[in-house]
Structure 1
Amino acid sequence: MLKNFGKGVWPIFVVWLGIGFLTMFTYRVLATPSYPPALDTTVQTVYNTGLQPQAQAQTDTANPKTLEGDIFKQKGCIQCHSVSFYNILGGATGPDLSFAYTDAPKRFGKSLQEFLEKPEGTMGDLLPQLTTTEDRNQILQLLSKAAGQEVNDEKDQ
């Protein structure tokens, strides 16, 4: 019975293959690779690092201190970080940025200003994509203020 089955299948397969190539259906199925859709590089970077961005929490928008730290929300920092000094709630994946001024030298062996200029780790991929030099200068001012260390603009530039 199997001998007879094989003889009848081959002509049908050849006809299917020929019709498929004529209609380009077979070519698309066999020859076209399936690529995943392109992802935003920031999302891909966060995913590759194993971080899980958090949903943005409600913040006290009536507080002037919160409005002063608005850049952290605008640049997406609160996806992973909170900034408690400015009453900004965010994700818990990254550390509270209120302590970054004193934390950066301990963690990376360089000042916060040096870290913002040449970030390392996950931030090395994200920070240059999400911020400009002016943004990073403003972030430095805000985070130094949070640590009680006002940074003079003229001295740093």
Structure 2
Amino acid sequence: MFNLFKKGVGPNFVLWLGIGFLTMVSYNVLATPSNPPTVDNTVQTVYNTGLQPQAQAPTDAIDPKTLEGDIFKQKGCIQCHSVSFYNILGGATGPDLSVAYSDAPKRFGKSLEEFLEKPEGTMGDLLPQRTTAEDRKQILDLLSKAAEVKAK
């Protein structure tokens, strides 16, 4: 074996091995994008975080109140929020929306209606993309109804 190394086979093998390694490294460097995509702080980003709604509690009959609050499921609110007034279980990342009517003035210094029109924080990115003005009106009506019943 050492005789082959003396005859030049060994150095040639090492040379070709090095060229192969450098070719592989060069390809990986060239194939990597020089401008990676920027992180977009939108609805998709929130979904990609893996937030998942909790499973809906099984019931024998569907509660009409739950059907009334179905918009919260349709618009993806339950990714982060529950709406206990409408018996809708969701994520625990955000507060229970059943108290949003009284909670919005405390948190944001404006009424729930004003907050839904000009949301702040995470909701500033999500709400305008997921809802129309008509949706926000329906959400306001549902959350107002939840506040009136809770106040009694």
TM-score by length of 2: 0.71
Percent identical residues: 63
The match for 2:30 is 31
Matched positions, count: 137
Q: Which amino acid aligns with 2:99?
A: F
CA contact (8 A) 1:46 1:122 kept: no
**Per-residue deviation at 1:47?**
6.3
Choose 1 or 2 for highest CA Rg: 2
Inter-partner Cα distance in structure 1 for 2:85 and 2:46: 28
- Aligned to 1:127, the other structure's residue is in SS state helix
**Per-residue deviation at 1:58?**
1.1
Inter-partner Cα distance in structure 2 for 1:55 and 1:62: 19
- Aligned to 2:148, the other structure's residue is in SS state coil
Q: Which amino acid aligns with 1:33?
A: T
The match for 2:43 is 42
CA contact (8 A) 1:45 1:125 kept: no
The match for 1:54 is 52
Please list every run of at least 4 consecutive aligned residues from structure 1 whose deviation after the TM superposition is greater than 3 angstroms: 6-14, 25-28, 38-41, 45-48
The match for 1:121 is 121
**Per-residue deviation at 1:131?**
1.3
Inter-partner Cα distance in structure 2 for 1:75 and 1:103: 21
Inter-partner Cα distance in structure 1 for 2:28 and 2:112: 53
| Alignment map for 1:79-118 (pairs within 5 Å) | 79-118=79-118
| Alignment map for 1:128-139 (pairs within 5 Å) | 128-139=128-139
CA contact (8 A) 2:53 2:89 kept: no
CA contact (8 A) 2:75 2:131 kept: yes
Inter-partner Cα distance in structure 2 for 1:11 and 1:63: 73
Q: Which amino acid aligns with 1:29?
A: N
CA contact (8 A) 1:79 1:90 kept: yes
Inter-partner Cα distance in structure 2 for 1:98 and 1:70: 14
